[in-house]
Amino acid sequence: MIKGIYSSGSGMMPRMLKLEVIANNLANINTTGFKRDSIFVQILKNAGVAQSKGGGDLSGLDVKEYTDFSEGSMNPTGNQLDLAIQGPGFFAADTPSGVRYTRNGNFSLSTDGTIVTAQGYPVLGTSGPIQLPDLRNAKIGDISINESGEISVDGKKIGSLLIAKFDDTSVLKKEEGTFFTADVPGKDAEADGKGTIIRQGQLEESNVNGIEEMVQMIELSRSFESAQKTMLYQDGTLDKAMDIGKL
């Protein structure tokens, strides 16, 4: 009976985590460059070990969270500093905590003419932060960024975007919002204009499918409630058995 309670409990724990993940996905459905998260549950070989201690079923589950890096839809904005990456790769930003990677290309100009992220972090080019040489005379409409990431002002090239590529995206760990940190540095490169293309005046939307997430949330909620009722029933049965034992 106790084993049955633990079995029900072990099934509820990953469901709780996945409900939290889905809720976060839905909260960021309109966040530019957001990548949805999910979890997978692995049953370990030692799932049946230590059942005498009452924890065998729980210790046999390995729940891990992972990020889906599939590409989101492109949304035209007409803003010359809005950029989207079509294909593999990430923009790089110089933050107080070090270099961070993002697919959110909602950029703007700081007071000194540096191209920055929505959080105010300098966007990195192949030669460091990208700064317009003459901010007073420059106009947003004069900034041109081609498919290879080359940045020109009034037809004069001032730099190229640094695009970080990762052969294995599992090394990327999500931090705040749409920023990622990496266990190992990515390959510093420019967009090649073929496999990886920079789209000026566009933003990559979140890859969250609201309908799919809602369906999963409903199914998980029902499954969680069912497991909870099973636990309560088994607990009640155990209480009755103990009462009979007292007689």
Q: Which two tokens stand for residue 162?
A: 């640094």
pTM over 0.85: no
Residues 6+ apart with CB under 8 A from 42: 61, 62, 63, 64
Residues 6+ apart with CB under 8 A from 65: 17, 21, 37, 38, 39
State the Cα–Cα distance between residues 111 and 108, nearest whole angstrom: 10
Nearest to 88 by CA among 179, 183, 198: 198
Q: Please give the chain's pLDDT, 247 residues, in tens.
A: 455 545 555 556 677 788 889 999 999 999 999 999 988 765 554 544 444 444 444 455 567 788 999 999 999 998 999 999 999 999 999 999 999 999 999 999 998 889 999 999 999 999 999 998 765 555 555 889 999 999 998 888 999 999 999 888 888 999 878 999 987 765 655 566 568 999 999 999 999 999 999 998 888 777 777 666 666 666 566 665 555 555 5
Residues 6+ apart with CB under 8 A from 237: 1
- Across-strand partners of 187? 165
How much is the pLDDT for 1? 46
